[in-house]
Structure 1
Amino acid sequence: MRSKLQNITSRFLAILMVVGLCVTNSSCTDPETTDSTKFALFYAGITDIGPSMSFNLDAPTYIGGAPSDFAITRVTLNGETYDTNSFAIDTNTGSISLSNTSELPVGLYTLSVSCYSNGNYYEFKDIVTINMMKPVPDSISVEPNKISAEFADIISTESTVELPTAQVTTEGDHISIQKYIIANVRKDGVLVEENDFFTISSTGEISIVKGESKIQPGKYVLDLKLTTAIVDEAAEEGIFENAIEIDITSKPLTLTYTPNTVKVEENAQNISAVPTLVGSSEGLTYAIKSVSPTSSSVTIDPVTGVITLAANNQMEIGTTCEVSVTVTNQYGSTDFENAYTMTIVEFINPITKFEYSDTEELIQATAFEHPVKTIDGDEVSFSFVNLDSKLSDLTIDATTGTISAKKGNNIPVGQHTVTVLAKNNKSELQASFKLNIKTNPYYFTYVHWGNNLNLSPAQNYASQYRVTSNNALLSLSIPVAETDIPEGVEVEWTIDNSSSSISGGSIDENGTITFTAGWTNAKVLMILVKATTGKGTAGEITIKTPVFIHCSSAVAGVTVNYTPFVFQVNPRTGGSSVAPTITGTDLSTFIADYRRTFNYYNINGPAEHKNGQPGSGNDTFMYSLWKAYYESIGVASVNTGQKWPLSYYDNTSRLAAPLGYVDATNNCAVKINPNKWQNEYGYANGVMIGQMTFVTDGNSGGVSSGSQMFPLAIWFDTKFQ
């Protein structure tokens, strides 16, 4: 399934892997409850903040019945109970706000939260963690602290214009900065959660990502989290608020009126909606370019862009009036032809009747449509009224009023009230109905096969087993360790061989995995298991889960073991794996680098992310990454047989350019650079297993022809923390 179910699956797997992961990567405790009903509450981690900042934490997600009556039961500071009114919770939604923080001491705050679900009381201790940081030393600055770039130069990969950068600097040499992180990004004062269009290097250079099509014109302000060390003092983290302003400038790009075509009763007034503009707001003005047929009764507000047709306009019935608009800002003007159209009719019926039926019981996570039962009125537009955030997967057709949701939606089980506004130029009415969602008897969110590496809690890690011989591999029998598949539900277990790197794996009717072949010296292998419940029914659910095997053995007398040997990483943010344990050689002369056979296996990514190596075809995901790398370093041709895009030693002067590398400065941990594992179809959601080569004589010039191994699998998912 490539529906939103996969996104839900990824999210719940990520949630379950971190067990309610908070900003400090600590696990939330089990809830205290008055019964044994399965219920869990999860808050997303929030960013580090400074003492003068305010913040809002979105409503939590949950497993089980819809929660209500939220309350904060305890606040601690560095483990001790702390009395403060700076934290408030919305009793209906569970969203948490932080305000009046200027007097709060620096330190680690935890919040315990209670709620009710299905009539039962739950309390989650220390479920939210907030790192209130002190400001960085005054002698740190960003030079320059304001930069600007033209939108067209950013989104075009063909543009030769060099984008501006800024550098974090210190006055004098008594302070050193050891680590740089972008903590928050705000656009025009609003927090931007997906902010992958800005990066900061390991040396403190702030840059704009070339070719980032998701960025929009506007003013962005960045907060930085820095790890600093003052001479003779220990290193510590601090927050650098409002470190830099980045202005993405553009002439007006698009202008959208919703609706942009309306019918107007003869000699009646009509006022358009406020249009949506993409472009810089500095010096923004709207003007009528033309009206056809010409009429002085059509005007536009130069500030808001609202178009008005005056009453008693004398336009004849049947006239189609087309309005073209010119929008001007500080960076240019753009004409938008026929941006708004009005057709004159004899009569517009006011809305006198509007009604939806309550829905029948709809199965959780299945697709549905719910049309309007009764509507009496002309030229009606429909919109939700105060739609609950838990129902955000609902969509409404603004023209017909039909409400729908896609298969795999995340609408909670229970009865929900949905209210819709029907409106035309003469009147408006609201109608409410009951949306009834019943439990999908086949619904589940995860399967896990554990590990034999003593990694705990196991659900935080990929299912992974290390074996040291072929006999050990053939003796493996790996049962399901954990799952939330409902008891008694029949499961179809299959292995997706097209996305597996081993052909000798099999799975029985209970989900137990065994192997008949597959051993490869010093190589990580992967099988992709598909678990399907409710096969052939409306409630059918399929979850894909990778299971990994490491054939650990010495190569040229050297054994390299990463533990875990599956590196789970968010392709948006990147990160570093653990460093391996290396035996059989002098570590001071051990050198490794990625070399060849870079295989990518798509799990839940876009269908266009085709499996294979860079040289398997121009339509593979890996080829698109190779192409992007060569473009970024100014090389026209793509050498799919070259290791450069994943090499350390071929990029020592440009370590921000490659997709990732074996980090010679960090004991051979693998570093993944942010925002590299993506193309025009989206971010990676899959696994890459590539060959490394190594030498033991300290000569990096010979590493490309060194001994060969595949010691690490890199699993990408934007839900990983």
Structure 2
Amino acid sequence: MTETFLCTLIVLLSGMMVVSCSEETVDSGKFQLYYSDVTDIGPSMSMTLYAPTYIGAKPYDFEITRVMLDGAAVQTESFGIDKETGAIIIANTSQLAIGNYALSVACKSAGKHYAFEDIVHVNMMRTVPEGIVATPNKIDVKYEDVLSKSISDLPTSAITTDGNHIHITKYVVANVRHEGELVENDELFAVSDAGVVSFGNKHQNLKPGKYVIDMKLTTAVVDAESTEGLFANAIEVNVASKPLSLAYDPNFSKVEQGTEEPTKTVIPVMVGSREGLKYSVKSVVPANAPVSIDATTGELTLAKNSLAVGTECKVAVTVTNAYGSTDFAQAYTFTIVPLIHAITKFAYEPTVELIEGAALTQKVKAIAGDEVKYSFKDLPTALVGKLNINAQTGEITADKGNGIAQGNYTINVVAENPKGSMTATFTLKVIKNKYLFTYVHWGNNIGLSPVRNYASQYRIKSAAPLVMKVQSTDIQSGVEAEYSIDTKNSSTTDVTIDSHTGEITFNKWQGGKVFMVLVVTTTGKGTSAEVTVKTPVFVHCSKAVKGVSVDYTPFVLQVNPRTGGISNAPTVSGGKQGKFLMDYRRSFNYYNIGGPASHVTGVLKGGVTNTFMYAMWKNYYGSAAVNAGARKPVSYYDNQGALNTTLCYVDATKDCAVQVNANKWIVDQEYANGVFIGQMTFTNDGNVGSVAKGSQIFPLAIWFDTNFK
């Protein structure tokens, strides 16, 4: 039997966000599959996306069942999938059409077949037009200057065109790589509206070495529409430094006297530029100790020797690069001992129980032997990257929200020293998290059915208190839940909630306005398996304003910001036929539910530049000055002939249905996951010039979530 689930945001105690996508499955179990968010690629790029995480039994036999390009099915060999792990393989993209690809994936789990529509999203971008350059495209800066100087005193690079045929309207730092590895651009670098790339507010967090910056640009060739493209390898920033630190972990080892085999160390971690990098032994005490070093990696080797028991062989290392040399005294110590005991005993608890999604710390139960190093042997694929081991202590850990599915796993750990090795085996038993749930719903009173397909929403027509009770939830019977209101991200504080039952009492009244209350539901509070779900609940105070009432049904428009959407037309009572006009005007509010911290809740206001709404206005205006007092980014009448440039608008040609444009509600490369409520004004005289000064209402809320269909 096929069952459909509504998308819901789950926040585990660890802070991991899990999104349950709408899915079709042959049974009604709790198996769920999760891929990362949208991935940007360019022509001729190849990559493998991370394998998905999941809840339930380990999935297998993956296949891609459908590929959609901007909503239409296409045939392409550019996307493949690892049948065992589910990792998406992207290759042969030189002829791949530009656009947004949505991949549907099917798999099996515990003998059952599951299908997930449009679960993987890939944005195939154009390369930027020829003639766009970064000047300079290479920046050299001393590490000490990065630490000590202000942004204004550090060098910059300007993204420009070499002629007048191309116009750049938007600049975004797309990717940052340090020595070839992708790193998060947490204000390390920034770009201005004029295309000047500079060091960011947290540039002191930069490390020595080479950074490569990719830029995402919105450009327009003369007489053509704007397009978005990737300017790969736009700028190279070389943060130059001599070797600053050298660390072997551990920085010591014991060596049995007279051992025949050479003793090798771990490869050290060096902080400093890697240009011309070379390691050498500065000194050894005692001088006759046969110590050598790998000049490329820094690995030390103590050869066969006749050193006396108790000798501490102390090694100083010199590290040289293109910017200088640094000596590191006592970088490593070999200690000669009479005997290294072989490993004769090694064990963990035979069965280790882990609650699904909870953290794990498991120590070695018994060990007898010296100089032991620990490692996994044949770790199950489903645990790779989720289960960790300390090579020095053997302690095994997993983070909260680790994504390890229910089931029994055989774990083999090897303990090894110069005398040999021993393997310990135990069973990791991952049990169901009884606190796990996906939704709470308060229903509606406006006849919307099926109820779960719509937001919790109530329309009231008077100033009496409104009581809303929980109508449905998948919290297990017998599990206690704690309910609270997130007042910071709600549009009113005139509301109370019973912390045990979830019963909401709404005490606010303002005619013609929609309010949103963000309810936080927590199960297993205080335990390692704690689960939290955030649910917006909406109330519309329906009342005629200047003799006119405007009622959208539903009055919450649920929109996927990737694809956009349109509301139903409202019922307008008291409006004059052919004379009623309405548009967005002012008081534009955004309330963050599940977006990143940079999507700051707040109202659009001049001088307040850190809010999500200000960033949206900035996206609209591009390189032009932001007018925070203007309605233009969401206005129908200010954009006739260019409605595709707006964020959203009240469509006068469709009886005031609200249209939300696709791929507009995105900041810091993260789509909106929250609620937008803005004031509309209307007139009954048919005069477009009267709309902006017309009667004021807030009749509609727009709820954004990338999992809405």
Q: TM-score, normalised by structure 1?
A: 0.70
1:209 aligns with 2:200: yes
- Please show how residues 498-513 of structure 1 align to structure 2 within 5 Å: 502=493, 504-507=495-498, 509-513=500-504
Hey, what does 2:17 align to over in structure 1? 11
- 1:533 matched to 2:523: yes
Which residue pairs with 1:616 in the alignment?
Answer: none
Give the AA of the match of 1:531: T
Contact 1:109–1:131 (Cα < 8 Å) also in 2 = yes
2:363 matched residue in structure 1: 371
Q: Which residue of 2 aligns with 1:384?
A: 376
Worse overlay, 437-446 or 553-562: 553-562
Cα distance 1:386–1:199, how it changes in 2: closer, same or farther (>3 A)?
Answer: farther
Structure 2 residue aligned with 1:87: 79
Aligned to 2:154: 162
- Give the fraction of aligned pairs with identical amino acids, expressed as a percent: 43
**Following the alignment from structure 1 to structure 2, what is the Cα–Cα distance between the partners of residues 335 and 660?**
57
Is the alpha carbon distance of 1:102 and 1:166 closer, same or farther for their aligned partners in structure 2, counting shifts above 3 Å?
same
State whether structure 2 residue 369 is matched by structure 1 residue 398: no
Alpha-carbon distance change, 454 to 443 in structure 1, aligned in 2, over 3 angstroms: same
Alpha-carbon spacing, 1:190–1:590, altered in 2? closer, same or farther (3 Å): closer
1:50 is matched with 42
8 Å CA contact 2:309, 2:337 repeated in 1: yes
Deviation at 1:470, TM superposition (A): 6.4
Superposed displacement of residue 364, structure 1: 2.1
The SS at the match of 1:350 is: coil
CA distance in 1 between partners of 2:228 and 2:528 (Å)? 51
- Output the amino acid matched with 2:137: N
* CA distance in structure 1 between the partners assigned to 2:330 and 2:707 by the alignment: 42
Q: Where does 1:10-49 land on structure 2 (aligned, <5 Å)?
A: 10-12=16-18, 15-16=19-20, 19=21, 30-33=23-26, 35-49=27-41
Contact 1:565 1:711 in 2 (8 A): no
Offset from partner CA, 1:416-467 (integer Å, 9 cap, x none): 2333232323434444432111112222245455789999999999x77687
AA paired with 2:294?
Answer: D
CA distance in 2, matches of 1:223, 1:253: 28
Aligned-partner Cα distance in 1 for 2:95–2:426: 47
The offset of 1:137, in angstroms, is 2.1
Deviation at 1:380, TM superposition (A): 0.6
Separation in structure 2 between the aligned mates of residue 247 and residue 389 of structure 1, nearest angstrom:
38
Which of 460, 465, 468 is equivalent to 1:477? Answer: 468
Question: Do structure 1's residue 119 and structure 2's residue 108 form an aligned pair?
Answer: no
Alignment match, 1:638 = none
Q: CA deviation at 1:248?
A: 3.3
Following superposition, the deviation at residue 280 of structure 1 comes to 1.7
Counterpart CA distance in 2 for 1:465 and 1:710 is 15
Matching residue within 472, 475, 479 for 1:490: 479
Partner residue in 2 for 1:272 = 265
The 8 Å contact of residues 340 and 370 in structure 2, kept in 1 or not, is answered as: yes
Spell out the pairing of 1:317-336 with structure 2 (5 A cutoff). 317-336=309-328
Structure 1, 499-508 or 548-557: larger mean CA deviation: 548-557
| Partner Cα separation in structure 1 for residue 478 and residue 209 of structure 2 | 52
Cα deviation, 1:227-276, whole Å, max 9, x if unaligned, reads: 33333333333333333333333333332212222222224432111112
Deviation (angstroms), 1:412: 1.4
Q: CA contact under 8 A between 2:156 and 2:196: conserved in structure 1? A: no
Q: Which has the larger radius of gyration?
A: 2
**SS of match in other structure, 1:82:** coil
Q: Map of 1:522-671 to 2, 5 A cutoff?
A: 529-534=519-524, 541-543=531-533, 666-667=633-634
Q: Corresponding residue for 1:702?
A: none
Q: Tell me what 1:697 maps to.
A: none
* Residue 643 of structure 2: aligned partner: none
Paired residues of 1:185 and 1:195 also in contact (CA < 8 A): no
Q: 1:514 to 1:246 in 2, by over 3 A?
A: same
Query: Which residue, out of 267, 291, 299, partners 2:292?
Result: 299
Correspondence for 2:217: 226
Pairwise mapping of residues 62-211 of structure 1 onto structure 2 (< 5 A)? 62-75=54-67, 79-84=72-77, 86-154=78-146, 161-173=153-165, 175-192=166-183, 197-211=188-202
Q: Counterpart of 1:262 in 2: which secondary structure?
A: strand
1:75 positional shift:
4.3
> Which digits, 9 at most, give the CA deviation of each residue in 1:30-75, with x for residues without a partner?
3343x33332322213423222111111111223322122223444
For structure 2, list consecutive stretches of 5 or more residues without a partner in the other structure. Answer: 1-9, 636-646, 649-663, 682-695
Q: Distance in 2 between matches of 1:186 and 1:66?
A: 33
Deviation at 1:181, TM superposition (A): 3.6
CA distance in 1, matches of 2:601, 2:67: 50
Q: Secondary structure at the match of 1:326?
A: strand
User: Quick one: which amino acid aligns to residue 284 of structure 1?
Assistant: L
Query: CA 1:95–1:227 in structure 2 vs 1: closer, same or farther (change >3 Å)?
Result: same
1:666 is paired with a residue whose SS is helix
Classify 1:255/1:508 alpha carbon distance in 2 versus 1 (closer, same or farther; 3 Å): closer
Q: Deviations over 1:636-665 (max 9, x none)?
A: xxxxx986767979x99x999x99966776
Structure 1 residues 495 and 102, CA gap change in structure 2 (3 angstroms): closer
Assess if the C-alpha contact under 8 Å between 1:154 and 1:211 holds in 2.
Answer: no
Q: Which runs of 5+ in 1 are unaligned?
A: 21-29, 571-575, 614-640, 677-682, 695-707
> How far has the Cα of 1:180 moved from its partner?
3.4
2:151 and 2:198 in contact (8 A); partners too? no
Deviations, residues 657-696 of structure 1 (Å, cap 9, x unaligned): x9996677635979999779xxxxxx9x99999999x9xx
Judged with a 3 Å threshold, the aligned counterparts in structure 2 of structure 1 residues 101 and 718 are, in CA distance, closer, same or farther, namely closer
Cα distance change on mapping 1:11 and 1:323 into 2, 3 Å: same
Q: How many residues end up aligned between the 2 structures? A: 639
The answer (yes or no) to whether the contact 1:196–1:675 under 8 Å persists in 2 is no
| Structure 1 residue 155 displacement after superposition | 5.4
SS in 2 for 1:48: strand
> Aligned partner of 2:256: which letter?
E
Question: Are 2:486 and 2:520, in contact at CA under 8 Å, matched by a contact in 1?
Answer: no
Range moving further from structure 2, 288-297 or 58-67: 288-297
State the alpha-carbon separation in 1 of the partners of residues 706 and 279 from structure 2: 40
- Secondary structure, counterpart of 2:12 in structure 1: helix
The answer (yes or no) to whether the contact 1:365–1:440 under 8 Å persists in 2 is: yes
RMSD: 5.6
Q: Deviations over 1:97-124 (max 9, x none)?
A: 2223334444554433221111112233
Structure 1's 218 and 661: CA in aligned 2 closer, same or farther, altered over 3 A? farther
In the superposition, relative to structure 1, how do residues 134 and 397 fare at CA in structure 2: closer, same or farther (>3 Å)?
A: closer
- Asked if 1:308 is matched to 2:306, the reply is no
Which residue of structure 2 aligns with residue 424 of structure 1? 417
Is residue 235 from structure 1 mapped to residue 209 from structure 2 by the alignment?
A: no
- The TM-score normalised by the length of structure 2 is 0.71
